[in-house]
Amino acid sequence: MNCAGFSLLSLSFPVRGKPVFRKFSYIVFMLSAFVSVYAHPHMFIDTKLEIRLDGNRLDGLEITWFFDPMFTASIVNDYDLNGNDSFSEHEVELVYENAFSNLADFDYFTYVSTGNTTQSPSSVEDFTVFMDGQTLVYRFFVPFDIPVRDGCVVVAIYDHTYYCDILYCSDSPITVVGSGSSNASFQIVENSNIEILYGGSVSVSRDGKTYTGLAYPQQVVVTMEEIQDQ
């Protein structure tokens, strides 16, 4: 299912053809130091999240990102080398090396809090790339293996520069699996304690979204009953 919803204002971004956006992936995902914290969004990512529990522990997160047409066009033109609208193992490796791996410097935009501690991933596993219709999709697993304190764990996926506007898909964006999942519930909320300021006119936007110059990251709050040792 394609869950991406983007409104492209006065712009046309072909998925294939002349590589107008060649090396755009390097510019965006390397997020070079010159990018201002006040930059308005240039990339739009819809997220699905699978939260994997192991009793009273968080085993990890499977994250799926659906990208806007501009980034899709860039990656397809640069790395779908045979133009078959699919990514071979070699092509996935090229995408990983050139348009994903540097996100390690930015914590893969992923933050997990439980108790009084916030952690970011040190690595990811099982990275893959595929097309969902005309939409580029990244999927990867973030291992954590940490205890859930006080029956609550909070997951936030966001870019603090707001160069990437990251939201959850509107259709079934969250699943909780594993032992302990039957006792878990979740809600998606905005964290009003974290303000992301940005400026400038917005020429590319999401359907129906108003851009005011101030954004708050979404976070998933998971609550669960503690499982007693047998």
pTM: 0.83
- Does 10 reside within a domain? no
Residue 155 domain-assigned (yes or no): yes
In a domain, 135, yes or no: yes
Domain count within the chain? 1
- State the Cα–Cα distance between residues 166 and 175, nearest whole angstrom: 18
Question: In which domain, by residue range, is 195 found?
Answer: 36-224
| Nearest-angstrom CA–CA distance, 42 and 32 | 14
φ and ψ of 29, to 5 deg: -80, -15
**Alpha-carbon distances of 34 from 64, 89, 100, rounded to whole Å:** 28, 33, 19
**Both tokens assigned to 168:** 């959850």
Task: Evaluate whether residue 168 is within a structural domain.
Answer: yes
Distance CA 132, CA 93 (A): 19
142 within some domain: yes
Question: Does the residue 167 lie in any domain?
Answer: yes
Q: What pLDDT tens digit does each residue of the chain (230 aa) get?
A: 446 554 433 223 333 332 222 334 444 444 433 444 445 788 899 999 999 999 999 999 999 999 999 999 999 999 999 999 999 999 999 999 999 999 999 999 999 999 989 999 989 999 999 999 999 999 999 999 999 999 999 999 999 888 889 999 989 999 999 998 888 999 999 999 999 888 756 667 787 788 888 889 999 999 998 766 54
Is residue 174 in some structural domain?
yes
Whether residue 12 lies inside any domain: the answer is: no
